[in-house]
Amino acid sequence: MTNQEKIELMRQKEREIEAGGGEKAIAKIHASGRLMARERLNLLFDEGTFEEMDKFVEHRCYNFGMDKVKTPGEGVVTGYGKVNGRTVFAYAQDFSVIGGSLGEMHATKIVKCQDKALQAGCPIVGLNDSGGARIQEASHALRAYGRLFYRNVKSSGVIPQICAIMGPSAGGAVYSPALMDFVYMVKQDYAQMFITGPLVVKSVTGEEVSSQELGGAITHNRKSGNSHFMADNDEDCIMQIKKLLEYLPSNHKERPPVIECEDPADRMDDGLNTLVPESSNRPYDMKKLIKMVVDNGEIYESQSLFAQNIITCFARMKGYPVGIIANQPRHLAGALDIDASDKASRFIRLCDCFNIPLLTFVDVPGYLPGTGQEFGGIIRHGAKMLYAYPEASVPKITIAVRKAYGGAYIGMCSGEGGPDMIFAWPSSEIAVMGAEGAANIIFRKEEGAERKKKIDQYTDEFATPYDSAKYGFVEQIIEPRETRPKIIRALDMLKNKVDERPWKKHGNIPL
């Protein structure tokens, strides 16, 4: 065989592998509305930059007739390339090849991709579309999942790990996404994620539930909080992943990418002065406030449908990425509950891992009361925020907007070891509790006009930012319209912040 014939043979083998499970299987996948693995990767990577690895890998299973089964590419495509000009590693499971099932060599390809991403200090993106473990490979398939999970943990906090559920994901397959930094789900019938499917649920518990009700995108974005972002389809999902990567550094040793910003750093918005209602019990939209402050009014919100009483989002200030945590008065009055505490704590730690400064907008009446919260462990869950903020060493700026009551105010990055700067609006009410609550304790013997007089006195003297400012607990009381330039100047001052801590293996966050 001549050299040219050998080259032609190689190209023929490549074409066979790229054909996946064949025309019939591909047509069925396209008919469901989803893309093939290589089509997804072509959308993710800058044109002509993707380099595929381990294309010719094959399984070595002989059980149950598997010696006669061809699995082109072992049901997964792995490699690296450029996304918006930066190197990213990725793997995409190919459902056309025996359902994208994960066996020993399928996992070996992903593991090598994970290892190389960690060594190179580059983000990794996983596009999941798999029927689960390859049953024919028995314990080898179980061990294969363990190898993936170990790499997820090893890479955690070192490189960004992003996963997209773009097809079925059941059983052990759900835990690798759960160990990654961000999970996307496609809002289509073909994308599902659950530990046990509807049939098992019915047989064990008697409950009847559809696949989408149990593990669809709406469920995991609104109810469970297992997913951070929801996409309309495969194309939208890939575009959103590329957007997210623009806020993240390649690894924990780098700073996030800064872009040119035409929005003036000294811009003031007079609308901020009148945005917050004068009555502290009236709601308003905190997202509107945030958009009036950040570059070009653009935010990218994580878990937007889950625990809506708190907002977690990315934005930019003078082109520099920031992570924002804010109470949302439109939901539960912005009170902190179990889900909100979990949501905020994870986002705080993610931003700290990847050197993203934290902005905290406070309008919090307290922790949500009730037996459901107490029995569910609000003390433990609420303490996560009390742990996450002081643990974070990135620049931290807090803006007290309105209600700033009790322990929840400390939970929103205001206490010792919390923020580097606290700005307070004149409308802020920094106190142990609201005036009415205080009255029920301090002035419980007073009645009528005298009671109202004492409440007004308490409000004027204590439920204000001035008492805190008097003792240096607040650095500046600012006019709301000044918020953007004040934050930008503070971020510039803190850009070389050094926060030295005692050596320890790791802390013990109240999980």
Residues 214, 257: contact at Cβ < 8 Å? no
- Annotated catalytic residue, options 171, 225, 376, 437: 171
What's the confidence (pLDDT) of residue 142?
Answer: 76
Residue 493 has pLDDT above 90, yes or no: yes
Strand, helix or coil at 337?
coil
- Model confidence at 507, in pLDDT bands (50, 70, 90)? very high
Residues 189, 212: contact at Cβ < 8 Å? yes
- Model confidence at 138, in pLDDT bands (50, 70, 90)? low
What's the confidence (pLDDT) of residue 336?
Answer: 97
DSSP 48: T
What's the confidence (pLDDT) of residue 104?
Answer: 82
What's the confidence (pLDDT) of residue 444?
Answer: 64
The pTM score is: 0.94
CB burial string 161-194: b at 16+ within 10 A, e below: bbbbbbbbbbbbbbbbbebbbbbbbbbbebbbbb
- Model confidence at 441, in pLDDT bands (50, 70, 90)? low
CA angle (477 as vertex; 474, 480 as ends), nearest 5: 130
Tokens, residue 110: 């992903």
Rounded Cα distance, 58 and 439, in Å: 74
Q: Which of 30-34, 53-57, 269-273, 467-471 has the highest mean pLDDT?
A: 269-273
Residue 87 has pLDDT above 70, yes or no: yes
Q: Which of 62-76, 159-173, 437-451 has the highest mean pLDDT?
A: 159-173
Which of these CATH numbers, 3.50.50.100, 3.90.226.10, 3.90.1150.10, 3.30.450.40, describes 272-428+464-493? 3.90.226.10
Residue 193 has pLDDT above 80, yes or no: yes
- Annotated catalytic residue, options 75, 99, 407, 411: 407
Q: What mean pLDDT is predicted for residues 313-336?
A: 97
Cα separation values, 496 from 204, 350, 355, 399, Å: 56, 20, 11, 21
According to DSSP, the β-strands at 76-83 and 124-128 are: unpaired
Domain with CATH 3.90.226.10 in the chain: 3-245, 272-428+464-493
What's the confidence (pLDDT) of residue 39?
Answer: 96
Residues 114, 124: contact at Cβ < 8 Å? yes
pLDDT tens track for 169-185: 888 889 999 999 999 99
pLDDT tens track for 339-377: 999 999 999 999 999 999 999 999 999 999 999 999 999
Of the candidates 41, 46, 48, the one whose C-alpha atom is nearest the C-alpha of residue 79 is 41
Residue 201 has pLDDT above 80, yes or no: yes
According to DSSP, the β-strands at 358-364 and 320-327 are: parallel
Q: Which of 1-5, 70-74, 381-385 has the highest mean pLDDT?
A: 381-385
CATH topology of domain 3-245: 2-enoyl-CoA Hydratase; Chain A, domain 1 (3.90.226)
The per-residue pLDDT of the chain, averaged, comes to: 91
- Annotated catalytic residue, options 172, 216, 366, 418: 172
Q: What is the DSSP string of 165-211?
A: E-SEEEGGGGHHHHHSSEEEEESSTT-EEESS-HHHHHHHH-----H
Long-range pairs for 29-35: beta carbons < 8 A, 24 or more residues apart? 29/95, 29/96, 32/189, 32/190, 33/188, 33/190, 33/233, 33/234, 34/95, 34/129, 34/166, 34/167, 34/186, 34/188, 34/190, 34/233, 34/234, 35/234, 35/235
Residue 2 has pLDDT above 80, yes or no: yes
Residue 416 has pLDDT above 90, yes or no: no
Of the candidates 292, 295, 311, the one whose C-alpha atom is nearest the C-alpha of residue 303 is 311
Residue carrying the six token digits 């179980």:
142
Tokens, residue 479: 């006019």
Strand, helix or coil at 325?
strand
What's the confidence (pLDDT) of residue 51?
Answer: 97
Residues 371, 330: contact at Cβ < 8 Å? no
- How many beta carbons lie within 10 A of that of residue 87, not counting itself? 15
Which range among 106-120, 123-137, 241-255, 383-397 shows the weakest confidence by mean pLDDT?
123-137
- Model confidence at 130, in pLDDT bands (50, 70, 90)? confident
Tokens, residue 33: 């509305």
Strand, helix or coil at 226?
coil
- Annotated catalytic residue, options 90, 326, 340, 408: 408
Q: What mean pLDDT is predicted for residues 182-190?
A: 94
Rounded Cα distance, 173 and 312, in Å: 27
What's the confidence (pLDDT) of residue 467?
Answer: 85
What's the confidence (pLDDT) of residue 273?
Answer: 97
Cα separation values, 449 from 107, 131, 278, 384, Å: 74, 70, 22, 42
171 catalytic? Reply is yes
48 catalytic? Reply is no
